[in-house]
Chain A
Amino acid sequence: MVRSLWTAASGMLAEQTNVDAIANNIANVSTTGFKSQQNEFKTLLYQTLQTKTTSANGATKPTSAQVGLGVRNAAMETIFTQGELEQTDSTTDFAIQGSGLFAVTDGQGNTSYTRNGSFTWALNSSGGVSLTTSDGYPVLDSTGKAISLANTYVSSKITISSDGTLNYPDSSGNAKSLGIKIGVYQFQNPGGLEKEGNSLYQATAASGAAINEATSTAVTKSKLSQGYLEASNVQVADEMVNLITAQRAYELNSKAITASDEMMQQANQLRS
């Protein structure tokens, strides 16, 4: 009896985490470059109820009668599908089409990755301008260095090619390459990236090391679009359906607890 109480409790706990993840997805429905998350569940260990079991026609079965002890959260999977591109009027907004990510540095040697391409040109310590995120983290180029230019460039005239190369118009107005390419990196298993907040991801053992699109020949290259931002890939209708399922599953488990409790109460009433 106490077994079914704990089993149902594990179910309620798992569904609670499920609702947490769904709520976070819904909260980030307008976050640039957000990738939705999904809970994966696994069964807990099994216990033998009765060693000798017989099938309906009386034959002895090779396995014992077993009961599972509930459920646990196995993983929070990130769903890396493409979000739709939204047009903006800023020349420093970039969107990635494909599976690449931008690389940014926090200034202390740690590299993070992001799909949020809402950048700005900010003044740096050497008097020039650097391409940074809205939080001020410098964006890295394809060689892993922070992208910075002398302050003689008019930042609104800088355009990019679809591979990320920065161009600037010469005296006759023709775009010329500046020899700097915005770094785009891919991961073999993007689901393994660790989320660190602020739309940033960190490479982990599970995700594998970053693959530089500029130097690797094996990967399918992503395309960059200037003046666009990638919207969140959260599907509100899907999340609502998931929310209903999670809430109902939670309710079902609480019913199982009530039922177990009633049964225990009846056992208590045996001796009046």
Chain B
Amino acid sequence: MVKGLYTAYTGMLNEQKRMDIITNNLANTDTTGYKKEGVTNQSFGDVLAYRLKDNSTPGVDPHKMGTMSMGVQLGETYTDYSQGALKQTGNTYDLALSGKGFFAVQYTDKSGATSTMYTRDGNFGLSKEGYLVTQDGDFVLNSNGSKITLDPTKTTKIDSSGNIYQADKLVDKVQITDFADYNYLQKYGEDLYSTAAGASKQTSSAQVTEGYLETSNVQTVSEMVQMIDITRDYQTNQKVIQTIDNTLQVTANQIGKL
């Protein structure tokens, strides 16, 4: 009886977490280069169930009844890395990637430590010193892994493989990296991905389009359907808890009453 109470509780808790993830997708329907996230659920490990004080078969006590699962938890959160639509901006340093790949960014955290992060958000600009930077001022890296310096007095063109030309001369190349297994990418926020230990890089076949930005790949309809699903699942689990509570109430107050 009380077992069921806790099982339904894990169900409610799990639906809450699913709701958090769906809401984040909805909040990011307009975020540049955002990739939608999903979540899978997993039942708790099976446990053996016993029947105590069963004298039907002498000598066998307790009786095994088979297995049962006592609840649900998150299996994994996954990211749908499918291509987002490209939107035109006309700005020189707005780059969109078509195909699998990421820009590399040197991220500086609040304590001043730097690390390389990856992003699909190509909304870049030029700093006072002439470095190619993100909107937050983090440096965009070139194919050798160093910062990109450009001459602010010359016109700039960037071709589909990321080569940067100034006044028709090749000056640098934007780094575009792909990964063999996207499971090794961790979300940092700020549109950035960090890598977990064991991530292996590979060359990217993605094409750069200058003057465009990649839009979010969130499908609002599917998110809404999932939201309905979540709220109803939550409600169902709530009903289970209420039912068990009612049953317990009867047990506590009415059994043995004349």
Contact residues in B for A4 (Cβ distance below 8 Å) = 16, 19-20, 22-24
- B32's nearest neighbour on chain A, judged by CB, is A40
Interface size class of A (residues with CB under 8 A): 35 or more
Contact residues in A for B128 (Cβ distance below 8 Å) = 205-206, 208
Q: Is the interface of B mostly helix, strand, loop or mixed?
A: mixed
Is A85 close to B, CB under 8 A? no
Q: Which of A101-109, A140-148, A256-264 contacts B (4 or more CB under 8 A)?
A: A256-264
Is A27 close to B, CB under 8 A? no
Summed over the interface, the residue pairs from A and B with CB atoms below 8 Å come to a total of: 234
Q: Which of B76, B121, B235 interacts with A61 by CB under 8 Å? A: B76
* Contact across chains for A188 and B153 when beta carbons are under 8 A apart: yes
* Contact across chains for B154 and A71 when beta carbons are under 8 A apart: no
In A34-76, the 8 Å CB interface with B consists of 38-46, 49-50, 53-56, 61-71, 74-75
Contact with B along A198-235 (1 / 0, CB 8 A): 00000001101101000010111000000000000000
Q: Is the interface of A mostly helix, strand, loop or mixed?
A: mixed
* Distance in Å: Cβ of A5 to nearest Cβ of chain B: 8
* Contact across chains for B188 and A271 when beta carbons are under 8 A apart: no
Contact residues in A for B89 (Cβ distance below 8 Å) = 38, 77, 79
Contact residues in B for A46 (Cβ distance below 8 Å) = 186-189
* Contact flag A62-B76 (CB < 8 Å), given A206-B127, A266-B238: no
Most A Cβ at <10 Å: residue of B27, B28, B94, B154: B27
**Interface residue ranges, A against B (CB under 8 Å):** 1, 3-4, 7-8, 10-11, 14-15, 18, 38-46, 49-50, 53-56, 61-71, 74-75, 77, 79-81, 188-189, 191-192, 205-206, 208-209, 211, 216, 218-220, 245-246, 248-249, 252-253, 255-256, 259-260, 262-263, 266-267, 269-272
25 CB contacts below 8 A, A to B, read: A3-B23, A10-B27, A11-B23, A42-B32, A42-B135, A43-B189, A46-B188, A53-B74, A56-B40, A62-B184, A63-B196, A67-B37, A68-B187, A74-B135, A74-B136, A188-B152, A208-B130, A211-B152, A218-B154, A219-B155, A252-B29, A252-B223, A263-B15, A266-B238, A269-B242
Contacts A253-B27, A260-B23 known; list 15 others, CB within 8 Å: A4-B19, A63-B185, A65-B76, A68-B27, A68-B189, A69-B24, A71-B28, A77-B89, A188-B152, A208-B126, A211-B153, A252-B220, A252-B223, A252-B224, A256-B19
